[in-house]
Amino acid sequence: MKYAFFSDVHANLEALKAVILDFRTEKIDRIFFLGDAVGYGPNPNECIELIDKVSKVKLMGNHDYAALGLMETEYFNQYAAESMAWTRDSLERNKIEIMSDFELTAKVGDFLLVHSSPKEPQMWHYILDMNDVEDNFKYFKEKVCLVGHTHRPFIVFKSEKGDCVISHKTEEKIQKNQRYLINIGSVGQPRDGDPRSCYLIYDTKSHIVRYKRVSYNFDETQRRMSALGLPGYLIERLAVGR
């Protein structure tokens, strides 16, 4: 079977539609969402509806949490806070109900799924460097932990000796004698210098994980954001993936 894991859509409908079409091209069997359906972008309601339709498992992200009023935005930057205020005012009641059922963590076989980090998932910690990576390996027992949140894909494996090593490949075979912490990237707000959407595919037969990049019409997303008066910084960054 082929699994698809995607995250950080951030109300970017054009990106989400492109990725869902790619799921069909890749003949994906099961789909899992790792959080942040909303925030930043112009189509929160449509994205929540689509995510609910296609995803087997749906996790809560910090922007989803904030949109539901479960946390304040004092720790958000000014652009995130401004877009969140608009998002809260724009959410339809039935979409709020859908998002309220999102989970903090989930298990799929020997995979742990979490939006931010296995360490205190509800605190929305960022995994930004190797010190963070090494610390977070202490907080899960599964063979593989998949995260999103930073919008920057990475694969780190921990050897039998306990060494953490970054892979610079776009695909890796899951080895029996290693454990993995993998960031699956972002669909709607890539920030690794590549504006294309990013998600992760796992083949249960070959045990290979691989990143898939998907081009989408970010000009249309930018046009919609501009028409709604969303922050210019958020609009501009879509074109450069930063």
Domains and CATH numbers, the chain: 2-237 (3.60.21.10)
Mean pLDDT of 116-134: 96
Strand order in the sheet with 30-33: 57-58, 30-33, 2-6, 197-203, 208-214, 171-173
> Of 58, 45, 55, nearest to 13 (Cα)?
45
What torsion do the CA atoms of 71, 53, 2, 215 make, to the nearest 10 degrees?
Answer: -80
Q: Are strands 105-108 and 164-167 parallel, antiparallel or unpaired?
A: unpaired
% residues pLDDT > 90 (the chain):
95
Note every long-range contact of 77-82, with CB atoms under 8 Å and residues 24 or more positions apart, other chains counting: 78/231, 79/40, 79/231, 79/233, 79/234, 80/39, 80/40, 82/230, 82/231
Mean pLDDT of 132-137: 96
pLDDT value of position 101: 97
Give residue-wise pLDDT tens across range 50-79: 999 999 899 999 999 999 999 988 889 999
pLDDT band at residue 168 under the 50/70/90 scheme: confident
Beta strands in 141-214 (DSSP E): 144-147, 154-158, 164-167, 171-173, 179-183, 197-203, 208-214
pLDDT value of position 160: 82
Task: Classify residue 205 as exposed, middle or buried by CB count within 10 Å of its CB (0-12, 13-18, 19+).
Answer: exposed
> Of 127, 110, 190, 200, nearest to 164 (Cα)?
127
Give residue-wise pLDDT tens across range 86-121: 999 999 999 999 999 999 999 999 999 999 999 999
Give residue-wise pLDDT tens across range 182-230: 999 999 999 999 999 999 999 999 999 999 999 999 999 999 999 999 9
Enter the tokens of residue 67: 């949109």
Mean pLDDT in the chain? 96
Axis-axis angle for helices 44-54, 93-100 (nearest 10): 40
pTM of the model: 0.96
pLDDT value of position 173: 96
pLDDT value of position 161: 82
% residues pLDDT > 70 (the chain):
100
